[in-house]
A and B are shown apart, each in its own frame.
Chain A
């Protein structure tokens, strides 16, 4: 294969009309007007017929919701098992892997010998949404949900999430749990 060298043309060749400036300016205006028209009318699928999807980049945000891909990394959430308890076993791996050190856990033991986090604090002011906690967790107990709203607060105290506010039932996170099983592996689960 070849990597060639190509000289760019800095003496842009202009036709007579382009040199006259005004026709060229009109051409530019035509481009701008075309875009403006698409932006104004492109919200209606019927007008620009034949296009299955609207032709406008922007969304009417609170009414319309963006498509969130399955790989999206939103707010980290803890998984609540079907029996109502947290899936986390307080092993501390996420604490060790988190680059900005935003997780702190105090572990304890239930009567049946199961380990669980007595407190699980995630500092939302420090989290960089990198997803390492989800990657390293051996129990699939913390996942990056698709939630991106309501993460900002006027008061930093409110951004320090405790265990109860992080827990989300497993059914709601099933899609993400399926996705992360494919992480690091191609779709055929190559070994």
Chain B
């Protein structure tokens, strides 16, 4: 209903004998990636009411963790935010390390920082690219997917998988950098910068894109904080909160980078913030490679590291201990710990409880996109149906992370 009509006490629906229409959008609508259903009440093309139904990708992550040993949880964390899976690995490992009270070696921290930023890039590539795709810019989407492919080749050469990396362990990492990695990074980043420029030319000043993105789905600073926004969506509203800056972890306090913030919190700000973050992440990766020292990548403590294959096949003591560790699980001291990392979508927190056994007693995840999705009705109510698409894209619901 229009505001003027309301004031006059004039009901358009009654006068013209029309009704609102309720439609289902999703769960397998091309624009509702991540499998989510909207239950929309439409007045013409205006959204009167929206119900967001999540949970299609629910797979009991938190309960499943309780059945796994501490290290066995890593493959499951991979599947939370699957566009940036190492970030979940890092978050979980850091929470567990906080619980134990160990500090990983410096090289490991640098490697984790580097691969986290690569994951963030891959998450933003997917999000921004898919956002463009759903507004009809298939060509631009392909450029970013090409950039992501190149990035995934790099990640694959480190840890052996493109999507479900399973790279980080409690107390360290599985693999060190392969030969020729630095040259590959140089080659790939040169190409990715070109693709970024092409993407920018295609979209940032494109009238159609601007009209769809600018001034749609905006949120004020106050509301954004009240709804628990974090990450690019909060920064787009103008709040310079970033876990990497507020509580520096790993090696972020030694890096030189900018945190982009917007002003109105609309879709275009979110897009610009993400595009800028891709650039900043590239520079962080390069800084990491520059500063990285030589050294071990795992803590030097048999309790938190697999024995080398030489040891376990020739020496008795390490072998017996290895058996005990695998069959009973590593016994992490009883206690609780919360550790947040800056995920691709915002603050990704892991809250772990241990009762001293070989399995997590409780593993709670704070998924950033859950808070963002809950505010979706606020963002789109009263706007056009077509505005739902860019808003939903830039909110970036990742089913695996939101539904767990």
Contact = CB atoms under 8 A, between A and B. Distances in A.
18 contacts: A3-B244, A3-B253, A4-B257, A7-B263, A8-B262, A10-B264, A24-B206, A32-B139, A71-B159, A73-B161, A99-B75, A129-B161, A130-B164, A131-B166, A138-B313, A181-B309, A182-B175, A184-B173
Contact of B75 (A35, A96, A128, A139): A128
B326 interface: yes
B255 interface: yes
Interface stretch (B54-62, B197-205, B345-353, B377-385): B197-205
B149 A57 contact: yes
Nearest to B142: A35
B164 A128 contact: yes
Contact of A131 (B160, B206, B322): B160
Contacts of B146: 57
A190 B294 CA distance: 10
A97 B160 contact: no
A140 to B, nearest CB: 6
Interface stretch (B32-40, B119-127, B268-276): B268-276
B45 interface: no
A72 B159 CA distance: 7
Contacts of A191: 300, 308
Contacts of A129: 161, 164
A20 to B, nearest CB: 10
Contacts of A71: 156-160, 175, 178
A190 B295 contact: yes
B7 to A, nearest CB: 33
Nearest to A74: B160
Interface of B: 68-69, 71-72, 74-76, 107, 139, 143, 146, 149-150, 156-161, 164, 166, 169, 172-176, 178, 198, 201-202, 204-207, 210, 214, 240, 242, 244-245, 248, 252-264, 268-269, 272-273, 276, 294-298, 300, 305-306, 308-310, 312-313, 319, 322-323, 326-327
A6 B276 CA distance: 9
Contacts of A135: 174, 306
Interface residues of A, number: 54
Interface of A: 1-10, 12, 14, 18, 21, 24, 27-28, 31-32, 35, 57, 69-73, 91, 93, 96-97, 99, 128-132, 135-136, 138-140, 144, 180-191
A184 B167 CA distance: 10
A5 B261 CA distance: 7
B156 A72 contact: yes
B323 A93 contact: yes
B176 A181 contact: no
Nearest to A138: B312
A185 B298 contact: yes
Which 5 A-B residue pairs are closest in the complex by CB-CB distance? A6-B258, A71-B160, A8-B272, A69-B157, A73-B160
Given A3-B257, A10-B268, A186 B176 contact: yes
B297 A185 contact: yes
Nearest to B298: A184
Query: Which of B68, B161, B178, B245 has the largest count of A CB atoms less than 10 A from its CB?
Result: B161
B186 to A, nearest CB: 14
Given A1-B254, A1-B255, A185-B298, A144 B160 contact: yes
Contacts of B313: 138-140
Contacts of B326: 93, 96-97, 136
